[in-house]
Amino acid sequence: MQFSGRRKKLIGSSQNDLYDHCPQFYGQPPLENISLIEFETFAVERLKLLKAVENLGVSYVKNSEQYTRKLNAEFSRLNFPLRTELDDRRVQGGPSEYEKRRKDHISHFILRLAYCQTEDLRRWFIQQEMDLFRYRFGCLSSKHKTDFLHKNNLKYEMVSVEEKKNLRDKLINSSYGLSGITVEEYDFYKVPFQDALDLVRSRKVYLLAGIAYIPHQEIVTIVLNDYRTRLSKALAMTARSLPAVQSDERLQPILNHLSHAYVGQDYSIQKNIGKISLEQIDPLSGKSFPLCMRHLHKALRENHHLRHGGRMQYGLFLKGVGLTLEQALQFWRSEFIKGKVDADKFDKAYAYSIRHMFGKEGKRTDYTPYSCMKVILSNPPSQGDYHGCPFRHNDPELLKQKLQSYKISPIGINQILELVKGMHYQLACQKYFELTHSIEDAGFSLNHPNQYFMESQKLLGGGRDIKKEVEMSQRGQENVSNNSPNMPQPPQANSKPTHDEMGDLDSFFQDE
């Protein structure tokens, strides 16, 4: 892929062949020049699409009516291709199908660069891309499915009507759930047994002379396995060529940002500044803090100390919650002094880093409160650390005990542990939110600890009146929003932020 300039240059209709099906295996990298803006935009939008695929896949049964409806909405909203026909009709002035497919193609390859570097990233990327592919392939008609397979060198022939008649009984007896009628109706594909190992191994298909006779619906499994293998290999290769790409200074920051991407609000602009008093932090930690911050707060109170990772994660969170610099200094100082640190040492060593967080010392690149992605993926905690994401980094037994001590119901705990097992850490936290706030559906898609806090405060009736517990649960029910679950809610400021004061800080943070 060439990144030689900012010029946009479209290659003509020879690309049409590449894009004549909506799903694709992404075998060939795109060969055109694109602008950096398009580079970043395409990538971010695909990331949003993949996250939607992940969320919907866990929240709803795949291919259920709700799943389909919501996923289709995401496709439209983000302008990704879904329709089967390639034509140049424009819908309401939006991009044409061709343009959508081009974006699909390019954005996939960009994300490969961002997601090839670690096992975790690869696994996530492959999983979502497979689900995406499965969905799109499923939308194709029978004929288009066969066309697609042939075009992609999966030269699986269809079994002729004649042959099906001859093999009728054998076919019926080879697969559970096939009857005479279904054998007649369904398409069967002839697949070399080496490409259908799982089905052969468990004797779920008819095998003759080394050819497996695969019914229509099983063909997806085979195609998916093939896709996963290809993508896995491709990512390994991409990882090897990555140093060359990373040496291009324009791309490195974009790619780094993508792989830790949090594609929503960054809570760097503080609303509600000074609205939280220090006395409120203790009760708030139990009610409105996400589990990670609740733990950090507890550890701080118990040990009168937190290590650097914990200070950063919790300190920036508190800043996002609305603590002023003065409040923060007071908060940390009073706690540390109770421990082994005396006032002098605090002022010398720790105060500096807190001022740093608030942009008062030197210039550092990252002042924004950490998103869930960042907490989960970077800087795993070691012995003596309390930062990180409890759903990701805690031993499940320990997590279970902690949840029990917070009086979460056993059913709820099991639900959380199931999500943890499936590596859906943010969804587990969302479930924790739902259980602690006694609501069915959080109504938002959790991506950021400060988002958790804001949503909780919204539910509980605002930052000031946390004493009105009774009304809260009722209001909580009413407030379950019917917004799209994928959009993080914009923070609702209860009072106008004092922009003038914070003016320079705002611009400071825009850089991120």
Partner 1 sequence: MPISDYDPACLPDLLPLYYRKLFPFPQYYRWLSYGGVSKNYFQNREFSFTLKDDIYVRYQSFSTQNELEKEMQKTVPYKIDIGAVYSHRPSQHNTVKSGTFQALEKELVFDIDMTDYDDVRRCCSAADICSKCWTLMTIAIRILDRALREDFGFQHLLWVYSGRRGVHCWVCDDAARKLSVAARSAVAEYLSLVKGGEETVRKVVLSDPIHPFISHSLTVMERYFPQYAIVGQDILGSTESVDKVLSLLPEDIRKELTSFNQNEKNPIKRWERICALVDRKKSSSKKGGQYFDKEIMLQYCYPRLDVNVSKGVNHLLKSPFSVHPKTGRISVPIDLKELDTFDPFEVPTISLICEELEKPRADEGEEDEMKKENEQDAGERRRIRDYKRTSLAKYVKVLDRFLEAMARSRKGEMLRKSDHQKEF
Residues that bind partner 1 in the complex, under the rule CB under 8 A: 170, 172-176, 178, 193-194, 197-198, 200-203, 206-211
CA distance 12 to 498: 53
Provide φ and ψ at 207, rounded to 5°.
-125, 125
Q: How far is the CB of 228 from partner 1 (least distance, A)?
A: 13
Q: How far is the CB of 108 from partner 1 (least distance, A)?
A: 27
Rank residues 228 and 304 by Cβ distance to partner 1 and give the closer one: 228
Rank residues 205 and 420 by Cβ distance to partner 1 and give the closer one: 205
Rank residues 195 and 266 by Cβ distance to partner 1 and give the closer one: 195
User: For residue 397, what are its two tokens?
Assistant: 């037994």
Specify the DSSP class assigned to residue 33. Answer: B
Q: How far is the CB of 120 from partner 1 (least distance, A)?
A: 24
Sign of the torsion angle spanned by Cα atoms 100, 102, 108, 110: negative
SS3 157: strand
CA distance 302 to 295: 10
DSSP symbols for 251-310:
HHHHHHHHHT---S----S-SSTT-S-HHHHHHHHHHTS-HHHHHHHHHHHHHS---HHH
Cα-Cα end-to-end distance for the chain: 27
Provide φ and ψ at 263, rounded to 5°.
-100, 35
Q: How far is the CB of 171 from partner 1 (least distance, A)?
A: 9
Q: How far is the CB of 168 from partner 1 (least distance, A)?
A: 12
Rank residues 191 and 300 by Cβ distance to partner 1 and give the closer one: 191
Q: Which residue has the tokens 């990327």?
A: 125
Q: How far is the CB of 207 from partner 1 (least distance, A)?
A: 4
Rank residues 209 and 244 by Cβ distance to partner 1 and give the closer one: 209
Rank residues 9 and 201 by Cβ distance to partner 1 and give the closer one: 201
Q: How far is the CB of 173 from partner 1 (least distance, A)?
A: 4
**Ordered strands of the 188-192 beta sheet:** 157-158, 188-192, 211-215, 206-208
DSSP symbols for 132-149:
HHHHHHHTS-HHHHHHHH
Rank residues 130 and 178 by Cβ distance to partner 1 and give the closer one: 178
Q: How far is the CB of 179 from partner 1 (least distance, A)?
A: 10
Closest CA to 121 of 238, 271, 250: 238
Provide φ and ψ at 215, rounded to 5°.
-70, 150
In order of 117, 122, 255, 358, 374, the CA distances from 267 in angstroms are 27, 28, 21, 13, 14
Closest CA to 353 of 339, 338, 336, 340: 336
Question: Going by C-beta distance under 8 Å and a sequence separation of 6 or more, which residues neighbour residue 38?
Answer: 8, 106
Rank residues 205 and 375 by Cβ distance to partner 1 and give the closer one: 205
CA distance 433 to 17: 48
Sign of the torsion angle spanned by Cα atoms 63, 65, 70, 76: positive
Rank residues 212 and 459 by Cβ distance to partner 1 and give the closer one: 212
Q: How far is the CB of 194 from partner 1 (least distance, A)?
A: 5
Rank residues 194 and 474 by Cβ distance to partner 1 and give the closer one: 194
Rank residues 125 and 213 by Cβ distance to partner 1 and give the closer one: 213
Q: How far is the CB of 166 from partner 1 (least distance, A)?
A: 13
Q: How far is the CB of 29 from partner 1 (least distance, A)?
A: 27
Rank residues 198 and 342 by Cβ distance to partner 1 and give the closer one: 198
Q: How far is the CB of 213 from partner 1 (least distance, A)?
A: 11
DSSP symbols for 203-258:
T-SEEETTEEEEEHHHHHHHHHHHHHHHHHHHHHHHHHHHHHHHTSTTHHHHHHHH
Closest CA to 160 of 115, 190, 203: 190
Q: Report whether 303 contacts 254 (CB < 8 A).
A: no
Q: How far is the CB of 182 from partner 1 (least distance, A)?
A: 13
Rank residues 111 and 205 by Cβ distance to partner 1 and give the closer one: 205
